[in-house]
Structure 1
Amino acid sequence: MMEKVNIEEKFSLFNDYWSPKIAGEINDFQVKFVKLKDEFIWHMHEQEDEMFLIVKGKLLIKFRDKDVWLEEGEFLIIPKGVEHKPVAQEEVHALLFEPKTTLNTGNQTSEKTRTNLQSL
């Protein structure tokens, strides 16, 4: 079924951080909305590329050899196998586009690991 999605409205439906919500599916990919604040963990995705699109706020993505700042309206694709650590000094709203098999903490398990994602 085709339905338009209002991004701001969907972000108003939840308040938890680092817990992606499924907003849609495209073939074997999911569109996920996530709110971020503070530091995540160092991790990588061994089989999947990952895309961060910043809807609101400013996100720092740390890599072992450099840092990349993403601002509203910008996105970054992180290739599989690249270790990274997202950091949000203030609340950030991000859209993720990634394969359905992508675990938010990649090759790591922590209290921030989410296995059963809620649909919006």
Structure 2
Amino acid sequence: MSKNPVDLVTKLSLVSEYWSPKVVARLNDYEIKVVKVEGEFVWHTHEETDELFFVIEGELTIQMRDGDVNVRPGQLFVVPRGVEHCPVADGEVHAMLIEPAGVVNTGDVGGPLTANYDDSLTS
């Protein structure tokens, strides 16, 4: 157990790839991840869990079939389980994700953007 706070800005400075979340902490059965994104992700669904996006820098649009949501710095949005969505960033966005351990970032579709979660940022 670390007695130091997690500095999200410092952790994000260590991330070099887009759409590749990195685990920075754990809370019970949840993982706290940081990610840099740019461009459009893939349309996908998480049937078993909600997904929380907290924007630190930039502006993230979360496309959903029934309308888009824009999330700005200091704001968060929870995509409910089972809702098909596709995150999009016109410029670089830094964000934090909170989701149960083991959740696959591409949900039910897989593909080349499926992340291999790296725990190297937890210490």
What is the TM-score normalised by the length of structure 2? 0.94
Amino acid at match of 1:6: D
Partner of 1:105: 106
How far off is 1:81 after superposition? Answer: 0.2
Paired with 1:5 and 1:104, the residues of 2 have a C-alpha distance of 22
Q: Tell me which protein shows more strand as a share of its residues.
A: 1
Q: 2:118 aligns to what?
A: 118
Post-superposition offset of 1:48: 1.0
Q: Which whole-Å CA distance do the structure 2 matches of 1:71 and 1:14 have between them? A: 20
CA distance in 2, matches of 1:75, 1:15: 23
Q: Deviation at 1:60? A: 0.5
Q: Secondary structure at the match of 1:118?
A: coil
User: What is the Cα deviation at residue 15 of structure 1?
Assistant: 1.2
Structure-1-length-normalised TM-score: 0.96
* Unaligned segments of structure 1, at least 5 residues: none
Deviation (angstroms), 1:14: 1.5
Matched residues, number? 119
Distance, in Å, in 1 between the alignment partners of 2:23 and 2:6 is 12
Q: Is the 8 A contact 2:64 2:85 kept in 1?
A: yes
Q: Which runs of 4+ in 1 moved over 4 A?
A: none
Q: Which residue of 2 aligns with 1:71?
A: 72
What letter corresponds to residue 4 of structure 1 in structure 2?
Answer: P
Two-structure CA RMSD over aligned residues (Å): 0.7
Letter in 2 for 1:14: V
Q: Does 2:5 correspond to 1:4?
A: yes
- What's the CA shift for 1:110? 1.1
**Residue segments in structure 2 that go unaligned for 5+ positions in a row:** none
